Structure 1
């Protein structure tokens, strides 16, 4: 298990995740179909070719999931009790087939639970960038994290 316990997080901590991922057409189409999202901007090349982008955009919920997923090995693998919510989620630039995504995570705040002594809450800000360094996604996430057993 490589996840960090509550005591190992501190506000201002920045993790630049070493895992990167190139997004494929298959990723985008499969995710869109699996989530029952028929948006032609994601799955119809002809439709997408007539938009301002000229090609399909990767489903933004795939991008969100990928961004958080890339962060897991370095932050919360095996130590998360629950995700409590995500806020301030933005997609300032589209992701396209063939883009390679890298992620960094900043710890915004850490606090112990007021009702359960074995856990606490960490607020993360995840940021995803494409291969050109352009910010493609960002969100704040609150997660309930285990404390290290004494």
Structure 2
């Protein structure tokens, strides 16, 4: 099983995820349309060229968030998570554009025993996504309820 159990994690542990992803126009348009987001920033190249500081469409930040967290799952929580508890402090310091490639790193920043589930603990991850230039494009804290290996 690729994911780690609660008792296999430690604060300060950093994962450099091997999956990288180049964002395509199709990714952005499909996700934006699927979520019924009519923002011109994601859909209208002409509008962006004439009316924005970027001069081109930007990638939907909800897609960026989902991709950043999704890339982390295989190394951290695949098969060992009970539930995602929430995302905090979600930030997008720089936009992503079609053709950008992201890489993700994850740090374990907090661990605590679950008070209601003896077979689990709560882990807080800090996810960071970078573009191909090494610029930070997204980060967030994610808390999850994680199985303990010793409980099995």
TM-score range, shorter chain: over 0.9
> Which blocks of at least 5 consecutive residues in structure 2 are unaligned?
none
Q: Which residue in the other structure is 1:31 paired with?
A: 31
1:45 lines up with 2:48 in the alignment: no
| Residue 134 of structure 1: how far off its partner (Å) | 0.2
- CA–CA separation in structure 1 for the residues paired with 2:13 and 2:72: 13
Determine if the alignment matches structure 1 residue 20 to structure 2 residue 14: no
- What's the offset of the Cα at 1:103? 0.2
Render the CA deviation track for 1:51-108: whole Å, top value 9, x for unaligned.
1100000000000000000000100001111111111110000000000000000000
Query: Residue 64 of structure 2 corresponds to which residue in structure 1?
Result: 63
Superposed CA RMSD in Å reads 0.7
Equivalent residue number for residue 74 of structure 1: 75
Where does structure 1 lack aligned partners over 5 or more consecutive residues? none
Q: How many residues align?
A: 150
What residue number does 1:135 align with?
136
User: What TM-score does the superposition give when structure 2 sets the normalisation length?
Assistant: 0.97
1:16 CA drift (Å): 0.5
Divergent runs of 4+, >4 A: none
Counterpart CA distance in 2 for 1:82 and 1:47 is 40
Tell me how far 1:6 sits from its aligned partner. 0.3
Q: Deviation at 1:111? A: 1.1
What is the DSSP-based 3-state SS (H/G/I as helix, E as strand, rest coil) of the residue aligned with 2:33? Answer: helix
